[in-house]
Amino acid sequence: METPVTSDPTSTELLLDTTEGILSITFNRPDVMNALDGVMLERAAEAVETTDARVVVVTGAGRAFSAGADLRRLERGGTHENGNRLVRALVSTDRPVVAAVNGPAAGIAMSVALAADVTVAHESAYFLQAFVNIGLMPDGGATELLAASVGRARANRLSLLGERLPAAEAASMGLIDRCCGDDYAEQVAELVAKLANGPTAAYAATKQAITANTLRHLDETLDRELRLQRELADTADSKEGIQAFLDKRAAGFVGR
């Protein structure tokens, strides 16, 4: 059944469903690869913050997890701020969080996927730190989430070069838990069912301890990224990068 956790329960762009102790959050704009705006991110964050479910699952409709922030809706509801809010909610909730990455996960959506406790991806999926391609920097905690998972060198490469990382390679380097083929849906369902029927207090304590040791500066990281991202948004390169993306052409960066 759909759970009306906000003042906008009729929205179809973000689906919220709580069944048998499982809160499912589905990005549902398949025509634009589930691009996210501030309202969607805010609703998702509020759902995580207020749920009494035993496990949280985040996924996308159609062929994508999410292409990241919708550049045509950046001012709708505070995309950057609510992206940070969702990441904080996923990391801090006592409930185990599963990211079921059914397709491409780019930009803030990659941060959301990495903020989960267990990330499972279909073999057709890929991960992309797309920010540099539009003259911006990673956000949503990515500058800490990446380094905590794969180390400084790989975090730098992924962030500075803006290259696609196939799901199989992401699994092999330890960025995600696993990459699945035709049994993707079966493996996700089995994992979620096991967590939903497990010892919730033990899960909460374990998650708290691991987070304290691996993401100890996340709040500071999110605040720093937001400040620097706002500064970058005023640069000529960022304005050119975003316009080039919207025009579907190569950006001509000038270094300022």
The pTM assigned to this predicted structure is 0.94
Q: Name the token pair of 15.
A: 């689906």
pLDDT at site 151: 96
The pLDDT value recorded for residue 150 is 97
33-80 confidence digits (pLDDT tens)? 999 999 999 999 999 999 999 999 999 999 999 999 999 998 777 999
- Top pLDDT among 9 and 164 is at 164
pLDDT on residue 86: 98
**Which pLDDT value is given to residue 107?**
97
* Average pLDDT in the chain: 94
Which tens digits make up the pLDDT trace of 105-137? 999 999 999 999 999 999 999 999 999 999 999
> What tens digit of pLDDT does each residue of 187-244 get?
999 999 999 999 999 999 999 999 999 999 999 999 999 999 999 999 999 999 999 9
Q: What is the pLDDT of residue 11?
A: 76
CA distance 121 to 124: 8
For residue 90, the 8-state DSSP code is H
Q: How confident is the model at residue 77, as a pLDDT?
A: 76
In sequence order, the 6+-apart residues with CB closer than 8 A to the CB of 196 are 20, 21, 22, 54, 55
What is the residue extent of each domain of the chain? 14-182+203-247
The CATH-assigned architecture of domain 14-182+203-247 is: Alpha-Beta Complex (3.90)
Q: Report which of 74, 97, 118 is spatially closest to residue 204, judged by C-alpha positions.
A: 97
- pLDDT for res 2: 41
